[in-house]
Structure 1
Amino acid sequence: MVADEKIMDLFPGRPRVLALGEPTHGADLLLEARNDLFRQLVEQEGYRTIAMESDCLLGLIVDDYVTSGTGTLDKVMARGFSHEWGAFGGNRELVRWMRAHNDGRPAAEQVRFAGIDGPLEITGAASPRPAITALHGYLAARLDPDLLPCTAETLDRLIGDDDRWPNEAAMMDPSRSIGRTPEAGELRLLADDLMALLDAQAPQLADERASLYARTAVGLLRYHYWMADTSPGRLPRLLGQRSLMIAANLLAVAERGPVLVNAHNSHLQRNRSSIRLGGLPYEWWSAGAIAHGRLGPEYAFVSSALGTWREHGVDAPPPDTIEGLLYALPEERYLVDPGKLGAAPRTARVSPWFGYAPLDPEHLADAILFVRDATR
């Protein structure tokens, strides 16, 4: 179990969103610590949604499985996650536990799953077809056809070949993107009209999944539009658009009740995020900063950190860093209140591996979950 502090003692009340960041993806003992903490908070504190940095549409597959047993665990792990997260043993164990926890419980007591990322990665974005056609189909089945701005056939013609959309070469070469073609422009307007129609019919058509389809269709087409941009603000706009989609999905899920969310620290932190691409630095507001702006003290952020991950060259941290201070303690895990660290070191650790992001001593979270070693 997590040692030292009790997590709920760190907050004035139960946060509506308790965000657990991670400094890297796939570290076995970090995922094990997350699972222990999330199980505790579901069983003892009444959290009823677990969200992850994974494709929001694919996440519906996982949610169907954990709530109703639709599919098999193997198929859900293969088809229900993006970024290859389904291959991580800790994620498989979390989904297995959620299904076991829900078995036989009434819907109001079940724990739900949600993906909060868009169907995209920094290197490219998916076709808008699944989102916009699902939204159109939902509305077409419930409304007079005269209210719809287009037919399904029009959408199909404008989308064209799905393989045209996720072109990774477009990340560094805007001319390879189709996001500003006449067809993409018309699709963007139609997605906006379909979302507006859903909102206008909310008194009779309020539906969580339809709203997700609408947000995703509009967000994806906006992402593709900026993928084709040639101005200096192109990459910050893309990075910011992804954060906006993550924040919007997280806030929507939080409307159903208290949420536990796990994603990279850079997505969930309250301060600006940064990255170097093509040798140039870029900054943008993180999804956590956007969500915190809406939720205020109902948003709590716990950052994770590792002592070592030796197979990636991440050896024992220098003693004059926060990780070094925690690494000197005898236990394998700690949940730490940064306010009790006293004169904590302010030297930033430097990772020799790009895949591990150390703590920023100038921007500490509400708590730190520290795991001494990534693997046993």
Structure 2
Amino acid sequence: MDGAREDGPSGQFDGVEFGAEFGAALDGVRVVGMGESTHGTAEFFRLKHRIFEYLVVEHGFRTFAMEASASAGPAVDAYVRGGAGDGAAVLTGLGFWVWRTREVLDLLEWMRDYNRGRPRAEQVGFVGIDPQRCGASLAHFGEERAGVLAALAEAYPGQLPERREELLTAAKALEAGVRGSGEIPEAGGHEALEAAGRASAEDRRHARILLRAADVVTREPGAEMWRARDGFMADGVDEAVAAGGGAGVAVWAHNGHIGVRGAALGARLRERYGSAYYALGLVFGEGAFRARRMWPGPWRPRVKRPSPVAVNRLGPAREGTLEALLAARAPGTHLVDLRSRADEPWVTETHLTRTHGAYVSRLTYRWNVAPTVPGAEYDGLAYVPVSTPSRPL
């Protein structure tokens, strides 16, 4: 596969229209945030795949950044650049069950096919931007050097606040030690110096990930914890932009992360890149999606164990919601640039919109909506009429 599916710059990618309006909106854009109102909608995943293809072929983007393990990201990057291994295995290594799907694997395989035969400077790469699931970084240092930081391997945000001082102290000590090591080989010439430099850079990267992970998992659950995580993910995007030599970066995350209000990832990117950051929210009309179901409040089991992944169903969007408004404007899958429609009243009005993460309340998820002002939160919207569950590997 050569990578191009389009009929031209204003044509289609597998039936999805990328018109002149959307293409013009991306002039000067360096980072595109691709959101989703659920983590379990197959159509969102496929649409973001097509959007990334479009960004690569028509706008020269070269990096795909994902709300997934920064620690395990290099293994995925090596795979899409033609390295040995199994796509499903490296995808599983990212540590997030929501991404272990056929749709995301199809995207990785497209990247690998696109890269085949191209010089490295023209290839597309993969990065993870979330400090969670840092097992590969722990393995890099080994059990003895990692020490108590081994507790970070499977920990989730806010899980270990009682160990904050211990784990942060250990992570800072490791990071400081790596920063100060910089050993220069006594012999070996230029190649030995280069190898030492690469090793040192890799040490610093893994130590930085562990320090970020320690910060996130040891905070008290709440707004500050999520603020810290989004800040670190924004730093990960910055690092991808710097490494990309000026080529564009596409960011895959939830709508709640890519929006530009508050302290979300997208808000940090808007502060840093201004109009060169484009936030695209994805919503759907009706259908089903995958998410883990939890009992709410006092009915939640005291013993913590993974909740079952279930197919959750939603009927047509209620009148007055953002989804219903987009369905009335155009019933099929479509993209809307909000920057060019800033004078249209609906863009500056408040609407309720659905939002579901990896977990939903088994009793009340159907009513899980949040107010949003489209033009204040996003630069563009993509609407999918029917959601079907993502396909697990």
TM bin, normalised by shorter chain, reads 0.7 to 0.9
What residue in structure 1 maps to residue 211 of structure 2? 218
Shift of 1:219: 0.9
Contact 2:285 2:384 in 1 (8 A): yes
SS for the counterpart of 2:165 is coil
Report the equivalent of 1:277.
none
How much is the aligned-residue C-alpha RMSD, in angstroms? 3.3
> Is the CA contact 1:23–1:357 (under 8 Å) kept in the aligned structure 2?
no
Q: Is the 8 A contact 1:198 1:205 kept in 2?
A: no
Which of 345, 353, 356 is matched with 2:365 structurally? 353
1:51 is aligned, of 54, 65, 73, to 65
2:143 corresponds to 1:117: no
Alignment-mate amino acid for residue 287 of structure 1: L
After TM superposition, list the pairs within 5 Å mapping 1:69-88 onto structure 2. 69-79=83-93, 81-88=94-101
1:159 maps to a residue whose letter is: V
2:172 and 2:367 map into 1 onto residues whose CA distance is: 38
> Which runs of 5 or more residues in structure 2 are unaligned?
1-14, 185-193, 289-310, 356-363
Q: Which residue of 2 aligns with 1:32?
A: 46
2:34 paired with 1:20? yes
Listed one character per residue, the Cα deviations across residues 2-51 of structure 1 (whole Å, up to 9, x for unaligned) are: 3374422124x231111111111121111111111111111121111111
The answer for the alignment partner of 1:265 in structure 2 is 255
Distance 2:52 2:314 in 1: 26
For residues 68-127 of structure 1, give each alpha carbon's deviation from its aligned partner in whole angstroms, at most 9, with x where no partner exists.
Answer: 232022322332x2221342221011011111111111111111011111125xxxxx57
Alignment of 1:327-346 (within 5 A): 327-338=327-338, 339-340=340-341, 342-344=344-346, 346=350
Q: Residue 191 in 1 paired to residue 174 in 2?
A: yes
Contact 1:49–1:111 (8 Å) recurs in 2: yes
| Secondary structure at 2:219 match in 1 | helix
TM-score between both structures, scaled by the size of structure 2: 0.72
For 1:304, the aligned partner's letter is: L
Per the TM alignment, residue 226 of structure 1 is displaced from its structure 2 partner at its CA by 2.9
| Corresponding residue for residue 179 of structure 1 | 164
Sort the Cα spacing of 1:374 and 1:169 in 2 relative to 1 into closer, same or farther, 3 A.
closer
Q: Which residue of 1 is the match for residue 275 of structure 2?
A: 297
Total equivalences in the alignment? 326
Q: How far did 1:65 drift?
A: 0.4
- Secondary structure of 1:304's counterpart equals strand
Choose from 155, 159, 170 the match for 2:148. 159
- Counterpart CA distance in 1 for 2:197 and 2:122 is 25
2:137 partner SS? helix
Matches within 5 A, 1:234-313: 235-255=222-242, 256=244, 257-272=247-262, 285-310=263-288, 312-313=312-313
The answer for unaligned runs of 5 or more in structure 1 is 121-125, 138-151, 228-233, 273-284
* Distance 1:106-1:223 versus aligned 2 partners, 3 A rule: same
Letter in 2 for 1:222: D
Deviation at 1:358, TM superposition (A): 5.8
Letter in 2 for 1:38: F
**After the TM superposition, which parts of structure 1 deviate over 6 Å for at least 4 consecutive aligned residues?**
198-201
SS of the residue 1:23 aligns to = coil
What residue is the counterpart of 1:8 in the other structure? 23
Give me the whole-angstrom Cα distance separating, in 1, the residues matched to 2:68 and 2:178.
Answer: 23
* CA distance 1:364–1:78, shift in 2 (3 Å): closer
Structure 1 contact 116–249 (Cα < 8 Å) conserved = yes
1:235 is matched by which residue type in structure 2? G
Q: 2:75 aligned to 52, 61, 64, which one?
A: 61
